[in-house]
Structure 1
Amino acid sequence: MTDHRTVDAERDAILAALRPVADGIAATFGPVCEAVLHDYRHPENSVVAVAGSVTGRAVGGAMSEIGMRVLARGDRAEDELNYVTRTRSGKLVKASTMVLRDSTGAVFGALCVNVDVTAVGEAHALLGALAGLTDARAEAPVTTFGNDIDSVVDAILDAHRIGPDRPWGGLDRAQRLDLFRGLDEHGVFAVRRAVEQVAARLGISRASAYSYLSQARAATDPTPAGGHA
């Protein structure tokens, strides 16, 4: 049987050991680099250390949509390396998210490295224009890097285009279940009070939200009736 106090102590030690690593990464790459250390045991304030300043994160801040997606995958989560995203302020960021595991193999946090490549992207576009080349690169997705978890949950809801143009009342049952399934896959419901926030945003009762979440999870549960997980 796992001693939770021992595992927690081990996780605390890993996080403590990585704080100077985060400082070293940011110092090596200079002012365009930021290293953020996350403790997923506390999703609403997962940021335990920040070195550098690219996304405006602060200690005690919330995880982004990327972190929530990792959290939703649980121990199946893998490192996400060298992806490109964009902040809401327009910065182009090249990032890597490296999951942290304890000795049991359980994912409990992440070390994220964010590099502001906005100037590089602008230089690339300028040189391409001078050379007469067409820039056909896909637009980088926008990620909400906020210190408030509610703003992150709202951003994920916005991405699902639930609003005046696609009201809850206009969705059929399958679409409603699909919405809750999508939100769950993004890790939204791992966050405390998220069900209440989603219910308020959709204009439904908390009981209805819990019901749809339960039905969505049941519809995707791979365990057959009478079987074992």
Structure 2
Amino acid sequence: MAQMRSRPATAGGIPDEGIRPTVDGERLIAVFSALVEPLGRSLPPSTEVVLHDLSKLPNSIVAIHGDVTGRRVGDPATDLLLKKLHELSEDHIVGYETHLADGRRIRSSTMIIRDVTGQPVAALCLNSDLSVWESVQDIATSMLDLTGMRKPTQQAGEPRIVPAQASDEAEPEVFVTDVDQLASHLIRQAVSNVDVPVELMQKRHKVAVVRDLKDRGMFHLRDAIDMIATTLGVTRFTIYNYLNEIADEDAADSDDEPLQIGKEG
């Protein structure tokens, strides 16, 4: 199991100056960039290979082969990748299922690449369009039915095998081609979870929105403070204060001293 590693952070786990480029990181990114196309050509055409340079967040895609999600070099990371970096969770998520906006099922894997110091520097992602295989399955099923070669029915007492499925409660990963789309999605999800119209929100509701956005990795995006402040109808300094309150609460829960963001004005 991958080890969790710490990184410089301000209050609430927000990266201090983001993920910085390193010499070994640049070397790794160059190596994996050169592998994206041959790896993509070795896989079925329904699979997309994507490499993210994490020092370039949010517009982190530096190499891509395939056209499953419609993204290009220079497009942003997904909401899942931002959240994964914020949580410092295990390095790899393999074979999870999500959906595209047009309803197609996608099976994805996300692998974090670290330099010699343990800092995350890149993410290699595979996205496979399952609709192609579903069509093949439908054809095969139809042919087996026509030839009378249906599978035997399950006999009493035999164990029932159920294929693994993604949790119904899990939010699907969102693939976007614009940072504003990503920011709007994150904010919309956080506000929706509070289930109170912004104009009727009290302070506790707005703090809950900020905490949710922090957990989603929203603060990896430039101008996140201003975007959230505009949505909630408060000043950017109020957002700083909310973050400090959240950091204090988290520190109290873990009996650690809170890390403070300097207040302005």
TM-score scaled by structure 2?
Answer: 0.71
Pick aligned residue for 2:45 from 31, 50, 60: 31
Match of 2:129 in 1: 116
Q: Is the 8 A contact 1:100 1:107 kept in 2?
A: yes
Separation in structure 1 between the aligned mates of residue 182 and residue 138 of structure 2, nearest angstrom: 30
Structure showing greater radius of gyration is 2
**SS of equivalent residue, structure 1 residue 50:** strand
Q: Which moved more, 1:65-74 or 1:187-196?
A: 65-74
Aligned partner letter, 2:106: V
The one-letter amino acid of 1:155's match is: H
- Aligned counterpart, 2:263: none
Shift in Å, 1:111: 0.4
Q: Give structure 2 stretches of 5+ with no counterpart.
A: 1-19, 154-162, 260-265
Q: Is 1:190 aligned with 2:220? A: yes
Q: What residue is the counterpart of 1:11 in the other structure?
A: 25
Q: In the aligned structure 2, how far is the partner of 1:125 from the partner of 1:176?
A: 48
Question: Is the Cα–Cα contact under 8 Å of residues 108 and 125 in structure 2 kept in the other structure?
Answer: yes
Gaps of 5+ in 1: 1-5
Aligned residue in 1 for 2:247:
217
Deviation at 1:214, TM superposition (A): 2.2
What SS does the corresponding residue of 2:55 show, helix, strand or coil?
Answer: coil
- Taking a change above 3 Å as real, the CA distance of residues 88 and 142 of structure 1, as seen in their structure-2 partners, is farther
- Structure 2 counterpart of 1:58, from 56, 64, 72: 72
1:204 is displaced (CA, Å) by 2.2
Which residue does the alignment assign to 2:34?
A: 20
- SS at 1:60's partner residue? coil
How well do the aligned residues superpose, as a CA RMSD in angstroms?
A: 3.2
Amino acid across the alignment from 2:66: G
Cα deviation, residue 125, structure 1: 7.7
CA distance in 2, matches of 1:92, 1:177: 34
> Is contact 2:82–2:217 with CA below 8 Å preserved after alignment?
yes
> Distance between the aligned counterparts of 1:121 and 1:95, measured in 2?
16
Partners of 1:191 and 1:63 in 2: how far apart? 10
Name the structure where helix makes up a greater proportion of residues.
1
Aligned to 1:3: none
Of 61, 64, 81, which aligns to 1:67?
A: 81
Superposition pairs of residues 108-147 of structure 1, within 5 angstroms: 108-121=121-134, 141-147=171-177
**Number of aligned positions between the proteins:** 218
Residues 199 and 17 of structure 1: CA distance in aligned 2, closer, same or farther (over 3 Å): same
Question: Which residue does the alignment assign to 1:166?
Answer: 196
**Residue 189 of structure 1 aligns to a residue in which SS?**
helix
